[in-house]
């Protein structure tokens, strides 16, 4: 079906979209109609066959993002994809002892540019693209009708918004400002502050890795580096760790970590909280821990940061490996999208060689099911973890 005002792709550039990939780069486009950035436009092959509908932004490297494939109405497709995402989480978490989880994971739920996290009866919305910004009121209306939350808070503070021509936005979309929220994760209590916390308030994507550390922590001395508000530390304590040391550069994060430990009635006498730069701490102190956790922030936020990021990952892992006792275990993580799993493993291998340690991989990242990766869109897979045994 021919459509006026459509985006026409170059010959041979339609294959990714026909395979349900969501991104359209400017180099794949043969012609564009007149439009305002953020508009929804039909997309057609070079021989004018319908591919679907995407929103477009001339300012962005990724010029378009598909919200509907085939001839489906885009608003119907968005509502259907949102409902399927909500239904999936309902099946996973209804009646569970977890009340904090991701409701929508961007392309992983066929809704590019949109993340929605649930903290008890509060929803936190994060929008990264102009096209999704233009759809925000439609999305909020759907959420109010389908979930009836107590509040919806927007925390769209991603650096990527700048390329889209968007300012950072943070504020209430419905209800009252949420403040602190107490949530459950695998039955453990955590205090989350969406406005002041990192990301949307908590690192939900590491839930299953935290549970894995709980299983490993019994009678262990645990060192949790880049501890933030003590997620891994609480799990280690709940798992029966002999000692837990939490290190983070933020006083505020360490204060919240103390509160999270207290909220779970964990013994205080075996939990230590140290405000320090992790690199400096590892250089200046011995490590007598049986289990060390390295979960740093993203070192590579842009492609040009890859070399510096790899240097940082190698340094931090080498520092830990050099000092960790024999027969200890290291959990090392990277959330840098531009450092893929193969490169991360190579960097950790180099760290082991420089540290002069015999290292064996005994586990990999345990993915949280509420952070699905669309098999047609592998770019959504950003979080890597290696569990390493140091002989």
Confidence at 269, pLDDT banded by 50, 70, 90: confident
Model confidence at 41, pLDDT cuts 50, 70, 90, reads very high
For residue 297, what pLDDT is reported?
A: 86
Q: Distance between CA 259 and CA 263 in Å, rounded?
A: 6
Enumerate residues 6+ apart whose C-beta is below 8 A from 243: 221, 222, 270, 271, 272, 289
Length of the chain: 391
Check whether 3 has a pLDDT greater than 60. Answer: no
What is the value of pTM for the model shown?
0.94
Q: What is the mean pLDDT of residues 121-128?
A: 98
Residue 122, pLDDT above cutoff 60:
yes
Band of pLDDT at residue 305, cut at 50, 70 and 90:
confident
% of the chain beyond a pLDDT of 70: 99
CA 30/CA 11 separation, integer angstroms: 8
Residue 154 CB contacts under 8 Å (≥ 6 apart), including other chains:
124, 125, 126, 127, 136, 169, 170, 171, 172, 173
pLDDT (average), residues 270-280: 96
Q: Enumerate the active-site residues.
A: 335
Asked if residue 162 has pLDDT above 50, the reply is yes
pLDDT range class, residue 159, cuts 50, 70, 90: confident
3-state secondary structure of 178: coil
Please name each of the domains of the chain with its CATH number. 7-71 (2.30.130.10), 75-179 (3.30.750.80), 203-390 (3.40.50.150)
pLDDT at 96: 92
Supply the mean pLDDT for the chain.
Answer: 95
Strand partners, 42: 53
Q: How confident is the model at residue 107 (pLDDT cuts 50, 70, 90)?
A: very high
E strand or H helix that includes residue 310: helix 306-323
Say whether pLDDT at 34 is over 90: yes
User: What is the per-residue pLDDT for 4?
Assistant: 56
């Amino acid at each position: 079906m021919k459509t006026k005002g459509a985006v026409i792709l170059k010959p041979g550039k339609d294959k990714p979209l026909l395979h349900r990939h969501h991104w359209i780069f400017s180099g794949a486009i043969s012609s564009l109609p007149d439009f305002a950035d953020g508009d929804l436009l039909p997309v057609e092959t070079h021989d004018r066959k319908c591919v679907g509908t995407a929103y477009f932004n001339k300012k962005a490297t990724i010029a378009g993002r598909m919200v509907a494939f085939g001839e489906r109405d885009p608003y119907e497709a968005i509502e259907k994809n949102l409902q399927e995402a909500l239904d999936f989480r309902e099946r996973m978490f209804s009646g569970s002892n977890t009340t904090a989880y991701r409701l929508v994971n961007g392309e992983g739920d066929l809704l590019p540019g949109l993340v929605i996290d649930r903290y008890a009866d509060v929803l936190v919305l994060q929008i990264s693209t102009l096209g999704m910004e233009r759809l925000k009121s439609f999305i909020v209306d759907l959420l109010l009708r389908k979930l009836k939350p107590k509040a919806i808070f927007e925390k769209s503070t991603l650096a990527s918004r700048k390329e889209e021509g968007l300012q950072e936005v943070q504020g209430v979309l419905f209800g009252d400002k949420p403040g602190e929220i107490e949530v459950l994760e695998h039955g453990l209590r955590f205090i989350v502050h969406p406005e002041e916390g990192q990301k949307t308030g908590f690192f939900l994507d590491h839930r299953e890795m935290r549970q894995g550390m709980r299983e490993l922590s019994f009678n262990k001395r645990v060192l949790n580096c880049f501890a933030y508000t003590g997620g891994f530390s609480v799990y280690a304590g709940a798992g029966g760790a002999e000692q837990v040391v939490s290190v983070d550069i933020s006083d505020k994060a360490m204060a919240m970590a103390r509160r999270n430990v207290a909220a779970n009635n964990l013994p205080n006498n075996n939990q230590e909280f140290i405000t320090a730069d992790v690199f400096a701490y590892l250089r200046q102190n011995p490590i007598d821990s049986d289990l060390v956790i390295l979960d740093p922030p993203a070192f590579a936020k842009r492609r040009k940061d890859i070399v510096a990021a790899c240097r940082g990952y190698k340094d931090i892992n080498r520092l830990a490996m050099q000092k960790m006792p024999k027969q200890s275990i290291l959990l090392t993580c990277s959330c840098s999208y531009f450092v893929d799993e193969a490169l991360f493993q190579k960097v950790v291998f180099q760290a082991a060689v420089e540290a002069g340690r015999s290292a064996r991989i005994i586990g990999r990242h345990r993915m949280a099911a509420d952070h699905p990766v669309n098999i047609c869109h592998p770019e959504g897979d950003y979080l890597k973890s290696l569990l390493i045994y140091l002989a």
